[in-house]
């Protein structure tokens, strides 16, 4: 390999390392805008699920700027040309608008509706716990449409992952209920 090529590779490696450093250690932490977020639509006053354009936020963060713009909303594409006035509410307290944070906080200190064991802290690496609604239907929390999550959690009970699997199975196979000895 020509020495110029080594120099070019070294330059690229240093540039990439510098940009990564700016993104992750920079003053504008765009990670607080990761994932689906819930916000009250200023027009309808209803909860909507939105997503911030993370690519643009990351690029802006590299040059030390903050750029927050939506890349999706439950009201889109019909309302894709809206003025994104909800961003004011979002920017004021991004973490508490993240769907993940809302669900995590809800599970804190709660016990499973079925086995009464404490529900472990939410983790991106673990299976998701579930919720059981007033109708008795069990569903994993992240399968609830995000914009319906606050409303669902308000009337639901928490279900640990193990009970989620077991109880969902019995719900889907009621014919096998006779083989469920611990219920008797
Ligand atoms: Zn349980």
Give 8-62 pLDDT, tens digit per residue.
Answer: 888 888 888 777 666 666 556 777 888 999 999 999 999 999 999 987 777 777 7
Going by the DSSP 8-state scheme, the letter that residue 147 receives in this structure is: G
Rounded distance, CA 136 to CA 21, Å? 48
121 and 149 both lie in a single domain: yes
CA of 47 to the centre of ligand 1 (A): 30
Domain count, the chain: 2
Domain boundary among 97, 116, 135: 97
CA of 51 to the centre of ligand 1 (A): 32
Rounded distance, CA 101 to CA 36, Å? 10
Average pLDDT over residues 105-119: 96
44 and 106 both lie in a single domain: no
pTM greater than the 0.85 cutoff: no
Domain, as residue range, for 85: 30-97
Neighbours of 139 (CB within 10 A): 17
For residue 55, is it within any domain?
yes
For residue 9, is it within any domain?
no
130 and 78 both lie in a single domain: no
| 13-27, 52-66, 71-85, 158-172: range with lowest mean pLDDT | 13-27
Domain boundary among 72, 97, 122: 97
| Short-list 8, 15, 87, 21, CA closest to 58 | 21
For residue 107, is it within any domain?
yes
46 and 108 both lie in a single domain: no
CA of 175 to the centre of ligand 1 (A): 22
130 and 147 both lie in a single domain: yes
92 and 103 both lie in a single domain: no
């Amino acid at each position: 390999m020509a020495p110029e090529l080594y120099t070019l590779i070294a330059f690229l490696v240093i540039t990439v390392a510098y940009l990564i450093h700016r993104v992750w250690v920079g003053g504008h932490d765009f990670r607080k805008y990761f994932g689906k977020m819930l916000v009250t639509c200023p027009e309808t006053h209803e909860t909507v699920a939105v997503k911030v354009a993370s690519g643009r936020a990351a690029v802006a963060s590299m040059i030390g700027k903050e750029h927050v713009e939506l890349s999706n909303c439950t009201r889109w594409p019909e309302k894709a040309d809206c003025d994104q006035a909800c961003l004011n509410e979002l920017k004021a307290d991004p973490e508490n608008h993240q769907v993940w944070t809302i669900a995590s906080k809800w599970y804190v200190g709660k016990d499973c509706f079925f086995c009464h064991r404490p529900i472990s802290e939410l983790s991106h690496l673990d299976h998701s716990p579930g919720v059981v609604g007033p109708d008795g239907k069990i569903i994993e929390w992240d399968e609830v449409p995000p914009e319906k999550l606050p409303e669902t959690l308000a009337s639901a009970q928490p279900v640990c992952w193990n009970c989620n699997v077991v109880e969902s199975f019995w719900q889907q196979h009621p014919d096998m209920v006779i083989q469920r000895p611990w219920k008797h």
